[in-house]
Amino acid sequence: MFLNPIYTAFRHNECPDPGVPVNGKRFGDSLQLGSSISFLCDEGFLGTQGSETITCILKEGSVVWNSAVLRCEAPCGGHLTSPSGTILSPGWPGFYKDALSCAWVIEAQPGYPIKITFDRFKTEVNYDTLEVRDGRTYSAPLIGVYHGTQVPQFLISTSNYLYLLFSTDKSHSDIGFQLRYESESRCGRSISAITLQSDHCLDPGIPVNGQRHGNDFYVGALVTFSCDSGYTLSDGEPLECEPNFQWSRALPSCEGEAHHEGALK
């Protein structure tokens, strides 16, 4: 017996189960002809392919979805204007790719500083770096260059912009980072209250394979660093806590064996 294709389509009037996007959620369960299913990417991810809503349609005698399922990926850079959010290294929760240069600009309301909290951070020491600048462009003052597992718990801008640049070299990858940013709490309390009450700089951190000398972070305080045997300090100048509660220079790094490994890369 021959089946008329139209008859077959109406007999099997359900689309195939589209599944749930990786790093996303699905809303709707009906697979019937004419019904729709929606998708939403998890925080920090963006839809890069497919559609947020797909509808089960009849097309050329077949019951099919009218579009592909949303694909959710951590983007390489962006301009972020929500009061709070998440930034993930591209590839999250997997390893990041080689040869990345991803820039994010976080923009808050004028007068509102931005606080960044690092939930996870791990990159290849010395070669895959996250630069954070206190402003909207690459020429803004440097807050810090972070790599390895060396990051402060949190940092706060003085302006209402933060510029982040994640750069990776041509080999060796790692998990990358997950950070949260916020410019104002939900109840309307500005985090500027935190900076105004503060009379000291934030913990500048300690270089990987090194030590910090000085545990006072008040304005005018100096801290210096040294490295373990076999490692050389990238910058021997002390860091001074300036009146704007920012350190005068970026945290130095200890370069040594990793540097030699790098030469063989």
Give the interface with Ca ion as residue ranges (CB under 5 A).
124, 127-128, 168-169, 172
Tell me how far, at minimum, the Cβ of 258 lies from Ca ion, in Å. Answer: 11
98 vs 107, beta carbon nearer Ca ion: 98
Tell me how far, at minimum, the Cβ of 216 lies from Ca ion, in Å. Answer: 35
Tell me how far, at minimum, the Cβ of 172 lies from Ca ion, in Å. Answer: 4
Closest by CA position to 251, among listed 168, 146, 174: 146
63 vs 100, beta carbon nearer Ca ion: 100
Chain centre distance of CA 160? 18
Tell me how far, at minimum, the Cβ of 11 lies from Ca ion, in Å. Answer: 55
Beta partners for residue 52, in sequence order:
none
132 vs 258, beta carbon nearer Ca ion: 258
159 vs 173, beta carbon nearer Ca ion: 173
Q: Which residue is closest to Ca ion by CB? A: 124
149 vs 190, beta carbon nearer Ca ion: 149
User: Could you tell me the CA-to-CA distances from 97 to 76, 124, 128, 262, 265 in Å, in that order?
Assistant: 10, 12, 10, 17, 16
Tell me how far, at minimum, the Cβ of 177 lies from Ca ion, in Å. Answer: 14
